[in-house]
Structure 1
C-alpha cells in the first residue's frame, strides 16, 4: 500500500516507519503524502491507542530531500501543501504520538519529532536545526513547538547557531523524554508505546486538547475548559473502571473509552 513508509499495527500500537534509508529518510513528495495517509489511518482505527513514528536504517529523518527541490520552488507553497497539513493533522489526533528517534533528526525531521507528544532518543541519535545552514528559517511547526519545549532562549540558540547536539544534550535541555541504549532500544520503545496504549485513551485526548489550548487562554478560560473536560472524563467507561479498580485494590483494565 505504501512505498516510502511501513505501516503496521501490533498490540494496539500503530508503527509508522519512514522508509527511505538510502536518503536518511528525507522527505520527498510521496513520503509527505504517505505519512499523512498513515497518520489518518491510525487516527480512525479504534483499535489503535498509541502511535510510534520512527525511521529505517541509521537516521530518523534528515528533513527535506533537497535533491527533489527545484530552483524555482516556492517554499511557502511547499509548506502549505504538504508539511503544514501533516503537522496540523498530528495536532488533531487525540491519541499519544511517540517519536522513536533512532538516529539523526534534522530540519523538518526534527520538526516532525517536535510535533509528537513524546520523544524517545536512541543514545546514538543527534539533533540539528539544519535550516540556517541553507539560509532558511525553521518550519513545519518548529518555531511553535521548539520554544514551548526548551524555552525561548534555547530555541533561539539552536535555531540560529544550528549546532548539532547529542541525545544526552537533548535530554538535558528537555528536548527528549528519555535516552535509551542501542542494546535495549526495541524493547524499551515497545514497552513505552504499549504502556501508553493501555492507558485511558479518551482522557489522554482531552489532556492533549486542552493543554494545547491553554497557551491561548486566560486562567478563567482554562478553569472552564478543565470543568468541561472533567465532565466528559467523569462519564467515561475508563473512569468507572479506574474507581472500581481502586476500591477493589487491583490494577485497572482501561479500554480507551
Structure 2
C-alpha cells in the first residue's frame, strides 16, 4: 500500500495512513469542525479514494480538537440563495461513498457529533468513541430535517420507536447512552481512540478474510438508502419552502453560532 497516489488537498481535512489504515481528520477545531461544502465534498472523495481496497485496509474518520463535528456550517448556508436540498445532497454523497467502499469505515468520535455529522457516523460500519463524546440531533427543534439516510440507519440501529423519540425530542445522547442503544460499538480512553479503530479494522481485514463480501451483505441495500435519502431531501425542501428552516437557522446562529 505504499505509493498511494496523492489526493488533491482539501481545506480543513487531513489524512494520514497509519498501519495501512487511512485516518481522515476533520481539522477545523476553532469552529468545532463544522462541515463546509468543501469539507463535505472532500470527505466523499477521500472515502472513494481510500475505500477501493488497493490503497488502505480501512478508513477511520475523526475530528481534531474537542468535537467530532458540529454538523453543517450554518453560517455558510444563510441568505436568499439558501438551497437546503443541495446542501443535504453533499451529506448524502458521503453516505454513498462510505457504502461503496470495499473496506470497513469506522467513525472515531472524539467529542460531540451534531446533526449531519452524527448521521454520517451512523452510515459507517462501526462507531468507537471516548467517554466525552455525544451525539445530538437538533433538527426538529431547529426546523430542519435529518440527512445521510438517518431515517433508515437510526431505526436499524436503535429500533423504530426509540428512533422516533430521539428525533422528535431533538435528543442529545452521551456516550454511555449511545452505547446502550446500540449506536456505539465501544467506548475507549482518548489516547486509545485511533489505535482502537485501527485494531478493529485489522481484525476485520485479516488476510484471507471475506470482508468485502460481508460488508456488501450486512450494509443496507443501495435502493433502500437512496429511497430514504429521497424522502429526506423532499422533507427538507418542504421545510425550506414553508420558511420554517430559515427561521430555525437564524435562531441557532443567534443563540449558538458555530
User: What TM-score comes out, normalization by structure 2 length?
Assistant: 0.77
Give the distance between the partners of 1:104 and 1:200, measured in 2 at CA: 36
Tell me, yes or no, if structure 1 residue 77 matches structure 2 residue 76.
no
Tell me, yes or no, if structure 1 residue 133 matches structure 2 residue 141.
yes
Give the distance between the partners of 1:127 and 1:99, measured in 2 at CA: 12
Go from structure 1 to structure 2 and tell me whether the alpha carbon gap of 1:91 and 1:125 turns closer, same or farther (over 3 Å shift).
same
- Give 4+ residue runs of structure 1 displaced > 4 Å after superposition: 213-217
Secondary structure of residue in 2 paired with 1:3? coil
- CA-to-partner distance for each residue in 1:117-155, whole Å, 9 max, x for gaps? 000011110111121231112112211111101010111
Contact 2:118/2:136 (CA < 8 Å) preserved in 1?
yes
Per the alignment, residue 159 of structure 2 pairs with 151
Per the alignment, residue 177 of structure 1 pairs with 185
Larger mean Cα displacement after TM superposition, 107-116 or 191-200: 191-200
Per the alignment, residue 239 of structure 1 pairs with none
Bigger Rg, structure 1 or 2? 1
Question: What are the residue-to-residue correspondences of 1:55-204 with 2, within 5 Å?
Answer: 55-72=63-80, 73-80=82-89, 82-198=90-206, 200=208, 203-204=210-211
Give the distance between the partners of 1:21 and 1:190, measured in 2 at CA: 23
5+ residue gaps, structure 1, are 218-257
Go from structure 1 to structure 2 and tell me whether the alpha carbon gap of 1:190 and 1:49 turns closer, same or farther (over 3 Å shift).
closer
Contact 1:4/1:34 (CA < 8 Å) preserved in 2?
no
Go from structure 1 to structure 2 and tell me whether the alpha carbon gap of 1:124 and 1:200 turns closer, same or farther (over 3 Å shift).
farther
Secondary structure of residue in 2 paired with 1:77? helix
Larger mean Cα displacement after TM superposition, 111-120 or 182-191: 182-191
Secondary structure of residue in 2 paired with 1:165? strand
Q: CA deviation at 1:16?
A: 0.6
Q: CA deviation at 1:212?
A: 3.1
Go from structure 1 to structure 2 and tell me whether the alpha carbon gap of 1:43 and 1:132 turns closer, same or farther (over 3 Å shift).
same
Q: Which has the higher contact order (CA 8 A, sep 6+)?
A: 2
Contact 2:53/2:101 (CA < 8 Å) preserved in 1?
no
State the Cα RMSD in Å. 2.0
5+ residue gaps, structure 2, are 1-8, 225-258
User: What TM-score comes out, normalization by structure 1 length?
Assistant: 0.77
Contact 1:118/1:176 (CA < 8 Å) preserved in 2?
yes
Per the alignment, residue 220 of structure 1 pairs with none
Aligned residues: 215
Give the distance between the partners of 1:32 and 1:213, measured in 2 at CA: 22
Secondary structure of residue in 2 paired with 1:63? coil
